[in-house]
Amino acid sequence: MAGYKRLDINEVGDVTVVRFRDQKIVEDINIQELGQEMFRLVESDNCKKLLLNFSSVDFLSSAALGKLITLDKKMKAAGGVLKFSNIRPEIYEVFVITRLNRLFDIKDDEADALAAF
């Protein structure tokens, strides 16, 4: 799984764990690249179990949230499972306000998320 500019990717068993390289996900060009890379995991790399670890992310724009919603739809369409972990409280607050905490399966840390697959 080479060739990812915005993501660090590890395999833990049959789960693909994704960490973000950017602390602030706000610029349109970066968000477009990020979306393409995340979608490639589902469409080309055929990942069925995907965990997004947000431990390095300090800020996330609404456009980035849109990419996450699209990723969730693509995962479900492909019969896959998507989980999130390590979301900072200030970012989690945005998920609560937008009610995305109901759409996404969010765990406190990576170990909890891996155990939940």
Instruction: Give pLDDT tens digits for 73-97.
Output: 999 999 999 999 999 999 999 999 9
The CA distance from 115 to 24, in Å, is 28
| Beta carbons of 61 and 31 less than 8 angstroms apart | yes
Q: What counts of helices (H) and strands (E) characterise the chain?
A: 5, 7
Q: Which residues pair with 81 in a beta bridge?
A: 49
Does residue 2 sit within a domain? no
11 CB-near residues (< 8 Å, 6+ apart): 17
Does residue 1 sit within a domain? no
Q: State which residues form the domain around 79.
A: 7-115
Tell me the pLDDT tens digit for each residue of 16-62.
999 999 999 999 999 999 999 999 999 999 999 999 999 999 999 99
Give the CATH number, domain containing residue 79: 3.30.750.24
Whether residue 2 is predicted with pLDDT greater than 90 in this model: the reply is: no
pLDDT of residue 82: 98
Does residue 83 sit within a domain? yes
Tell me the pLDDT tens digit for each residue of 92-108.
999 999 999 999 999 99
pLDDT of residue 3: 82
pLDDT of residue 1: 58
Does residue 101 sit within a domain? yes
Nearest Cα neighbor of 25 from 73, 57, 71, 3 is 57
Q: Find the helix packing angle between 28-43 and 62-77, rounded to 10°.
A: 10
Give residue 86's region: left, alpha or beta (phi > 0; psi -120 to 50): left
Tokens of 45: 């790399």
pTM of structure: 0.95
- Give me the number of domains the chain comprises: 1
Does residue 61 sit within a domain? yes
Does residue 91 sit within a domain? yes
